[in-house]
Amino acid sequence: EAGVAQSPRYKIIEKRQSVAFWCNPISGHATLYWYQQILGQGPKLLIQFQNNGVVDDSQLPKDRFSAERLKGVDSTLKIQPAKLEDSAVYLCASSLLAGPYNEQFFGPGTRLTVL
Amino acid sequence: TQLLEQSPQFLSIQEGENLTVYCNSSSVFSSLQWYRQEPGEGPVLLVTVVTGGEVKKLKRLTFQFGDARKDSSLHITAAQPGDTGLYLCAGVGAGGTSYGKLTFGQGTILTVHP
């Protein structure tokens, strides 16, 4: 079974530029998550999708971050414009269903460096 | 907002030594998960503890969930260089807006020297 795919793996941009990340979850997984992991910290949930609907985006900085999952499969996360403090690893995860008893499977992440 | 305090942040030990990592919170969780993350990879689930007081063993790793489901520990016996990595605990929300959501600790970077 293929795992969660993410691209690109690395991205370096200058502040105020835009960037987009792509995630393809495990086939059949209805729930998709985007996390931000700043160096030295644990992952922080940015947004959770159930199929193509947003379940929780309470920690997403909506003035600059946006995410979509139009067909309920793959997803994109965009930052526009980027700030220095956005430098982090962006992890995508998926689970069969939402809820406490459904294991989340993580992709390898995209490491973003904002100069 | 639920918080999970993980300690120590860094651990550097010699092969063969034992170690314990702690996760503490003032919040009750429905379960607690432990992950291991290698450089350049996403976290991989090691174990989920669900019942207060539960103890699970995975070879040389022993995981314990506190009686009140607010804290947990990971104990590694006779550490090996292959155990080197970032260990993360994550509490699974028990109710309300936190239901089913993961709250991660800051992580423990473990280095085991040969």
pLDDT in tens, B25-53: 998 998 999 999 998 899 999 999 999 99
Count CA within 13 A, CB hemisphere, residue A17: 12
If you count residue pairs, one on A and one on B, with CB atoms under 8 Å apart, how many are there? Answer: 56
Query: What SS3 class is residue B64?
Result: strand
List C-alpha distances in Å: A47 to A34, A69, B38.
Answer: 5, 11, 23
Give B98's pLDDT tier (boundaries 50, 70, 90): confident
B106 contacts on A by Cβ (under 8 Å): 40-42
Nearest CA distance, B15 vs chain A (angstrom): 24
For chain A, the average pLDDT equals 94
Q: How far apart are CA A29 and CA A51, in angstroms?
A: 8
Give the per-residue pLDDT at B1: 67
First-to-last alpha carbon distance for chain A, in angstroms, is 37
Q: Across the interface, do B31 and A100 touch by the CB < 8 Å criterion?
A: yes
For chain B, the average pLDDT equals 93
First-to-last alpha carbon distance for chain B, in angstroms, is 41
Which residues share a beta bridge with A37? A89
Q: Which of A59, A53, A6 is nearest to A36 (CA)?
A: A59
A112 contacts on B by Cβ (under 8 Å): none
